């Protein structure tokens, strides 16, 4: 019985929730990336250095229920995020073609990045035990520093939550 309890405690301690946590921390420099988007362009963090904050929302897999809800929220309420001096992107380890199909179906009006090599997902430490990205959103300031790592994502209210986090983090609103 004692051995069983010990085994159970070990299994709980290495549960998927534990394995999904990132080693990156608030204040760390975010890893640069260069990934292709569903619009065919390549995007990299350094493109926004000194200009805008960046919200990088990792998601597990195109065309799945939670990811569809998150994408729809960003499409329908993205105007709340665009009030801030920030850009937002979704990223997954899906192939570009899968993401392009997903973006077209959802009418995504923001970059959806593909990381089929999984190198960027590894750099952000979001690649989980099933080799897809965990649902984690990174808030990165104009200097490339991580302001917040959000691992508690409500897919249905993703846009509202991102806008609220940008306000809480003190990201300035767009001028004009």
Q: Which residues pair with 36 in a beta bridge?
A: 42, 114
Residue 175 within a domain: no
- Number of folded domains in the chain? 1
DSSP symbols for 131-175: SSB-SEEEEE-TTSBEEEEE----GGGHHHHHHHHHHHTTPPBPP
Q: Is residue 9 part of a domain?
A: no
- Alpha-carbon gap, residue 129 to 107, rounded angstroms: 30
Q: Is residue 121 part of a domain?
A: yes
The predicted model scores a pTM of: 0.86
Q: Please report, for the domain that includes residue 70, its CATH number.
A: 3.40.30.10
Is there a domain that residue 107 lies in?
A: yes
Residue 19 inside a domain? The answer is no
pLDDT tens across 80-115, in order?
999 999 999 999 999 999 999 999 999 999 999 999
**Residue 70 counted as domain residue:** yes
| Residue 2: per-residue pLDDT | 47
pLDDT at 20 over 90: no
Inside any domain, residue 5: no
CA distance 29 to 23: 12
What range does the domain containing 133 cover? 24-168
pLDDT in tens, 44-71: 999 999 999 999 999 999 988 989 999 9
In-domain check, residue 38: yes
């Amino acid at each position: 019985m004692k051995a069983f309890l010990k085994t159970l405690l070990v299994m709980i301690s290495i549960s998927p929730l534990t394995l999904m946590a990132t080693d990156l921390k608030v204040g760390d420099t975010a890893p640069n990336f260069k990934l292709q988007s569903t619009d065919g362009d390549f995007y990299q963090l350094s493109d926004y250095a000194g200009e805008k904050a960046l919200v990088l929302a990792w998601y597990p897999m195109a065309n799945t229920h939670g990811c569809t809800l998150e994408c729809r929220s960003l499409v329908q309420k993205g105007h709340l995020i665009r009030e801030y001096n920030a850009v937002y992107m979704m990223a997954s380890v899906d192939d570009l073609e899968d993401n392009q199909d997903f973006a077209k179906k959802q009418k995504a009006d923001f970059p959806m990045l593909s990381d089929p090599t999984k190198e960027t997902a590894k750099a952000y430490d979001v690649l989980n035990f099933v080799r897809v990205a965990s649902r984690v959103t990174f808030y990165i300031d104009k200097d490339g520093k991580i302001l917040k790592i959000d691992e508690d994502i409500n897919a249905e209210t993703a846009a509202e939550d991102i806008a609220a986090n940008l306000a809480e983090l003190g990201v300035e609103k767009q001028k004009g």
